[in-house]
Each structure stands twice: as structure tokens, then as C-alpha cells.
A and B are shown apart, each in its own frame.
Chain A
Amino acid sequence: MPIINVENLSREFQVMEPMGRFRRRKKTVHAVRGIHFSVEPGEAVGYIGANGAGKSTTIKMLTGVLVPSSGQVSVCGFNPVPQRKALARKIGVVFGQRSQLWWDLPLQDSYPILGAMHRMPEADWRPRFRELAEQMDLGAFLTTPVRQLSLGQRMRGEVAAALLHRPELVILDEPTIGLDMISKEKLRQFLDAERRKNGTTLLLTTHDMSDIQRLCQRVLVVDDGAIAYDGPLTGLADVAGAVRTMVVDLAAPVHSADLFLLPDGAVHEGIEADGIRHSVSFDPRRLSAATVLAAISNTAEVADLSLHEPDIEHLVRELYGSARR
């Protein structure tokens, strides 16, 4: 049985639009329109889309804090809105831009409250808390009031709070927003380990494509309230017609792109560093990197090379473009 099942889910908002100086007109905004998807237990799904595409609206409906305009939602076997409190014991939610910790109390004071809310006896939540505190490296600032924590420290505290009750499903709404590279990486490592160890299902929205690459096997791309793509990350590249790019540094400069006899499907993209650095893009479905390298080596000696995978952000943009057309 899927842990999340969404059928024909829609949500619209009424907004007032100014019309002339005094009059206002009601306008209906379709934030989410008739989306379908389901997530199996243990999956890690990235939910991506541009700002205003309907990601947060969907998350709010999944957690039961927003009533759908129409359609069906089931999360962990519950209907989120009427069974919100029961659902809250099964899922962990991290809102990247909000805090579920008690702002003016030391960080460690939030966990007994959360443990009690989840009806966990102390013998149950205390060891779990110690485990999380150790894995997330909270020790140094457990006695610091939440308001004085840095963003990275607070986010670690937030994730520990969301995972205290060993939820079956963790929903993370932009968990890495504003974090530096190291904090992001720590958080990803932790989430990945947690999922592997406990089989926790992850659903996360993000604008950081490396989050998706590191954590998710499956992506849902939402655009203008509708699902534009649902499938594995690698498939996303196929759909958008992604190209890989090979950048080579030559032993001796070559000043003209025409000197290279590139196979079909490979395109010379540019010359840099006075003829030393050349970049060649190619379609990975038609050519292997070895073939491209061999073709270049026929003309000049290659001193160094690097391969650039398709930039997912670019792919998503392409996909949005094609969905709109």
C-alpha cells in the first residue's frame, strides 16, 4: 500500500485584484490542479518546481494543515485534514523557513515536550534523542536558547525534532535553504543514513539540485500546479534531451574548431585559454565519452579532461519550457 496517495488533487485560492481606484475583483488562482501521484514506503522522492509552482501548497495538504478544494489525499492511511493529530504521530515535518522548536528555551528543552506530544515514554524518546544528538552533532549547543543558534545549528535541531518519534514518513520543505555547503552535506548524509537504516520514506522539496542528486531516486516536477514529470532522475535528463559536456585541456594550442573531426552528435562549443581549453558537448544516448575523446585525440594530444553531467536546474527549466508550450 502506498504511503502517500494523491488523486486528482486541486486547490484554488480566491484573491482580490484591484480594479481601478476603489473596486476590487475576485480572482481564482489555481495553485494545484488535479495532480496524481503515489509514493511507496521507503522511497525517497524529490518534489521540485519553480517558486509558486504549487510545491508548498501540496505539502500543506499532505500534512493536513490546508483543506484541498477537491480530490483525494491519503498519507500513512489517514485522511490528513480530519485525522491531522493522528497523522502527526506518524510523520515528521521540517519546514525550512519555520521553526518547530521553542524559540526562547535552550535547544534541549524542546525534546521532552515533543516526546510527550508523541506520547513516547521517557525510556523511549531519551535514548533516541541521545542517538540523534550524537549523529547530528548537537552536543555543543544543546544548552543554547534556540533564538541564538545559527541557521545551520537550528536546522540540525529541527531535523532531530522531526525524527524524534521515528516517523514512517519525513516531509521536508526546503530543508537546506540558506545553509552553507558543509551543513548541507552533513544534513544529506544524515538523512540518507537514516533512510537506509530505518526505511524512512522521504519527500523533499528543494531548489538545490544536489539535494535531489544525493538523496532521491525519483523526482516529481511540478509546474504551474500540474505534474510535468514523474520518474527517475536519469530519465529526467532523457526527457529534456540533456547533453554532457567534455572539457579538454590540450598539450599544445589549437586555434580552430574545424581541425577536430567530431562524430555526429558531438558539437564543439568553444575555445578558451588561447586554444588550450576546448569544450565539446555530446548526446550521451548516441555517443560514449570514449568515442568523443578518441576523436579529439586524433587531432591533438589531450593533457587533461573533465566531464560535466547535465545541469539539472537547466533540465528542469527546459522541462518547464516544454510543459508550457
Chain B
Amino acid sequence: MRAYWELAKSSFRRHSTYRTAAVAGAFTNSVFGLIRASLLLSAITTAGGAIGGYSAMEAATYVWLGQALLAPLGLFGTAELANRVKSGDIAVDLSRSVNLTASYWAQDLGRAAFDVLPRGLPPLIVGAWVTGLAMPGTPGPYLLGFVSILAAVSLNFLGFFAINLLSFWVLEIRGFWMLYMVVMNLLSGFLVPVTWFPGWLLDFARATPFPSMLQTPVDILAGRTDGGESLAMVGLQILWLAVLLVVVQMMVRFGSRRLVVQGG
């Protein structure tokens, strides 16, 4: 376990060396938050005050929480593993005495821990200042929200890791990556809340782990669900975590048997 703790710490430190990048990222997240909030708000105004159970203020809160969690949750993913397979550096990863998935997971948690403040706070501050935020006044949603964020970081990590692992079979994963991004962006509730989906799409989304990757922590943090519902949602996240973990471990197991380490 100590190895994974050290890896998480080192990843935190690695990311903290790129402070300018963090500032630029937070700025971008905030600007896009303004654009998304203004689009949603004008839609809600046109619709006459509320869409799918979201008032103007609640919709704005949904946008700003999404923008704040975007980076910490790792919604853009990283192709590091696939790149290391391409360059053959995967040989180094595989000759370490640690579990491949766990070592990357630990590093992603370290990255997320760094991203929380510099990437998360600025969009919330801008949001509170420009549109105002509808946040709960009790500690419960924040506590459960924290657990939900941890689960969502892990789910996003495992999702992208599975796509990365395809590089054990195919030389180029760009196509799979694009497909995953499009599907995940929509079904995770990043573009619009999943409850705005037509019934059939909502049912489909709920049969996938994607809403657990963003919609769930946003809803819990915003206090849209009561205690019991929130607990059930976190339970569902953990269930998906177990499923994805099994999938990823199987992929590592079978993939590393047919992996061809590139280069001399």
C-alpha cells in the first residue's frame, strides 16, 4: 500500500509543478461556464422559468458545479498509458513490482487531489459572483458529496483506462477515444442534466456508469437529492466501480499476454 500512497503523493507534486497550466485551465473552465450558464438561462427564460425541475438558479448551479468538477473528476482523461504502449515505455511500467491498474489509479487520485482547489474554486467563485449558487445549508450533502466525488474520480479513471488498454490490441485508439468522449459527455450529464433527456435516452443512460461519473456528485452536492436517495446513488457508484474494476483487470490480464512491447 505504501507504494500507492507514494505514487499518489508524487503525482500531486508533479501536477503542482505546472501552476501556470492550472491557472489557464481554471480560467478556461470559468469562461466556458459563463457561456454554458448563459445558454441554459436563456433557454429557461424562453421556456417560462423552469425546465425539467430546474429553476434558473438551480440550472446555473448545475453548470458551475459541473465546470468546477470537470478537472478534478478527470472528465478529459489522459492517454498516458496508450502513449507509453506506443513508445514501448510500458516495458518500464510492467517491470515494476506494483499492480499496473492500481499504480495508475493512485496517480490519478493524486492528480485529482491537486486539481480540487486550483481548478475547482475559481469557477465556483465566478458563478457565485455572476449568477449566484443554490447550495445546501446542511453538512450532509457535502460529506456524501465528497465520497461521491472520490467514486466519480475513480469511475472516470477506470473508464479512460479501459480505453487506453485497447492499445494492447490495436495500434491506434483515437477512434475509440473520440467515440467514448462523445458518449460520455452526453450520458454523464455534462452537456445537459440527464433528467432533461427523453425517456428512452434517460433509461439508456441509467443503464450505463456514465451518470455516476458526473451527474451524481453534482446532484448530491447541489442538494437535489435527499439523504436516502444520495446514499443509494453513492451505492450505485460503488457497484459500477466494482464492475469497471473487473473489466479493467480482465483487460490487463489478457492484454498483457498479447502485448507487443515496441522498440528495441
Residues on A lying within 8 angstroms of B by beta carbon are 13, 51-52, 55-56, 60, 63-67, 81, 84-86, 88-89, 93, 95, 97-100, 102, 104-105, 109, 112-113, 116-119, 145, 174
Question: Is B261 interfacial (CB 8 A cutoff)?
Answer: yes
| In contact, A88 and B95 (Cβ under 8 angstroms) | yes
| In contact, A100 and B260 (Cβ under 8 angstroms) | no
Which residue of A52, A67, A81, A100 contacts B92 across the interface (Cβ within 8 Å)?
A100
In the assembled complex, the Cα of A113 lies from the Cα of B96 at a distance in Å of 11
In the assembled complex, the Cα of A260 lies from the Cα of B263 at a distance in Å of 53
| In contact, B264 and A56 (Cβ under 8 angstroms) | yes
| In contact, B97 and A117 (Cβ under 8 angstroms) | yes
In the assembled complex, the Cα of A60 lies from the Cα of B90 at a distance in Å of 11
Question: Is B25 interfacial (CB 8 A cutoff)?
Answer: no
**In the assembled complex, how far is the CB of residue A39 from the closest CB belonging to chain B, in whole angstroms?**
18
Kindly list chain B residues whose C-beta atoms are within 8 Å of the C-beta of A55: 264
| In contact, A98 and B89 (Cβ under 8 angstroms) | yes
* Per-position binary interface string of chain B over residues 95-113, scored 1 when its CB falls under 8 Å from any chain A CB and 0 otherwise: 1111100000000000000
* Per-position binary interface string of chain B over residues 245-264, scored 1 when its CB falls under 8 Å from any chain A CB and 0 otherwise: 00000000000011111011
Question: Is B14 interfacial (CB 8 A cutoff)?
Answer: yes
| In contact, B97 and A95 (Cβ under 8 angstroms) | no
**In the assembled complex, how far is the CB of residue B90 from the closest CB belonging to chain A, in whole angstroms?**
8
Kindly list chain A residues whose C-beta atoms are within 8 Å of the C-beta of B13: 105, 109
| In contact, A13 and B260 (Cβ under 8 angstroms) | yes
| In contact, A116 and B2 (Cβ under 8 angstroms) | yes
Which residue of A60, A102, A117 contacts B91 across the interface (Cβ within 8 Å)?
A60
Q: A65-B90, A104-B14, A117-B6 are in contact. List 20 more A-B contacts (CB 8 A).
A: A13-B260, A52-B264, A55-B264, A65-B259, A65-B261, A66-B261, A67-B258, A84-B94, A88-B97, A95-B91, A97-B264, A98-B91, A98-B92, A100-B96, A105-B13, A105-B14, A105-B17, A109-B10, A116-B5, A119-B3
Task: With a 10 A CB-CB cut-off, give which of A66, A95, A99, A113 has the most chain B CB atoms.
Answer: A113
In the assembled complex, the Cα of A246 lies from the Cα of B114 at a distance in Å of 67
| In contact, A95 and B92 (Cβ under 8 angstroms) | yes
Which residue of B94, B96, B257, B260 contacts A117 across the interface (Cβ within 8 Å)?
B96
| In contact, B264 and A85 (Cβ under 8 angstroms) | no
Residues A116 and B3 in contact in the complex (CB < 8 Å), given A67-B258, A85-B99, A98-B89: yes
Residues A85 and B6 in contact in the complex (CB < 8 Å), given A51-B264, A65-B91: no
**In the assembled complex, how far is the CB of residue A214 from the closest CB belonging to chain B, in whole angstroms?**
23
Kindly list chain B residues whose C-beta atoms are within 8 Å of the C-beta of A13: 260
Which residue of B3, B92, B94, B261 contacts A113 across the interface (Cβ within 8 Å)?
B3
In the assembled complex, the Cα of A104 lies from the Cα of B107 at a distance in Å of 14
A162: nearest chain-B partner, CB-CB: B95
| In contact, B10 and A102 (Cβ under 8 angstroms) | yes
In the assembled complex, the Cα of A28 lies from the Cα of B98 at a distance in Å of 33
* Per-position binary interface string of chain B over residues 79-93, scored 1 when its CB falls under 8 Å from any chain A CB and 0 otherwise: 000000000111110
| In contact, A93 and B264 (Cβ under 8 angstroms) | no
| In contact, B10 and A117 (Cβ under 8 angstroms) | no
The 7 A-B pairs at the shortest CB distance, nearest first, are namely: A88-B97, A116-B3, A65-B94, A116-B2, A116-B6, A117-B3, A113-B6
Question: Is B7 interfacial (CB 8 A cutoff)?
Answer: yes
Query: 7 A-B pairs, CB-CB below 8 angstroms?
Result: A63-B91, A66-B259, A88-B97, A109-B13, A116-B2, A116-B6, A117-B6
Which residue of A86, A95, A113, A145 contacts B10 across the interface (Cβ within 8 Å)?
A113
**In the assembled complex, how far is the CB of residue A57 from the closest CB belonging to chain B, in whole angstroms?**
9
In the assembled complex, the Cα of A22 lies from the Cα of B3 at a distance in Å of 49
Residues A98 and B2 in contact in the complex (CB < 8 Å), given A65-B94, A118-B97: no
In the assembled complex, the Cα of A63 lies from the Cα of B14 at a distance in Å of 28
Kindly list chain B residues whose C-beta atoms are within 8 Å of the C-beta of A64: 94-95
Task: With a 10 A CB-CB cut-off, give which of B14, B90, B258 has the most chain A CB atoms.
Answer: B14
In the assembled complex, the Cα of A63 lies from the Cα of B97 at a distance in Å of 11
**In the assembled complex, how far is the CB of residue A65 from the closest CB belonging to chain B, in whole angstroms?**
4
| In contact, B97 and A86 (Cβ under 8 angstroms) | yes
**In the assembled complex, how far is the CB of residue A60 from the closest CB belonging to chain B, in whole angstroms?**
5
| In contact, B97 and A67 (Cβ under 8 angstroms) | no
Which residue of A102, A112, A118 contacts B14 across the interface (Cβ within 8 Å)?
A102
| In contact, A112 and B91 (Cβ under 8 angstroms) | no
Kindly list chain B residues whose C-beta atoms are within 8 Å of the C-beta of A81: 257
Which residue of A65, A67, A93, A113 contacts B7 across the interface (Cβ within 8 Å)?
A113
| In contact, A67 and B257 (Cβ under 8 angstroms) | yes
In the assembled complex, the Cα of A99 lies from the Cα of B17 at a distance in Å of 20
| In contact, A93 and B6 (Cβ under 8 angstroms) | no
Kindly list chain A residues whose C-beta atoms are within 8 Å of the C-beta of B96: 88, 100, 117
| In contact, B98 and A93 (Cβ under 8 angstroms) | no
Kindly list chain B residues whose C-beta atoms are within 8 Å of the C-beta of A102: 10, 14
In the assembled complex, the Cα of A64 lies from the Cα of B261 at a distance in Å of 11
| In contact, A65 and B97 (Cβ under 8 angstroms) | no
Kindly list chain A residues whose C-beta atoms are within 8 Å of the C-beta of B14: 102, 104-105
In the assembled complex, the Cα of A95 lies from the Cα of B88 at a distance in Å of 11
- For residues 1 through 20 of chain B, which have their beta carbon under 8 Å from a beta carbon of chain A? 2-3, 5-7, 10, 13-14, 17
B13: nearest chain-A partner, CB-CB: A105
Kindly list chain A residues whose C-beta atoms are within 8 Å of the C-beta of B88: 98
In the assembled complex, the Cα of A100 lies from the Cα of B263 at a distance in Å of 16
Residues A85 and B97 in contact in the complex (CB < 8 Å), given A66-B260, A105-B13, A117-B3: yes
Task: With a 10 A CB-CB cut-off, give which of A63, A117, A118 has the most chain B CB atoms.
Answer: A117
**In the assembled complex, how far is the CB of residue A81 from the closest CB belonging to chain B, in whole angstroms?**
8
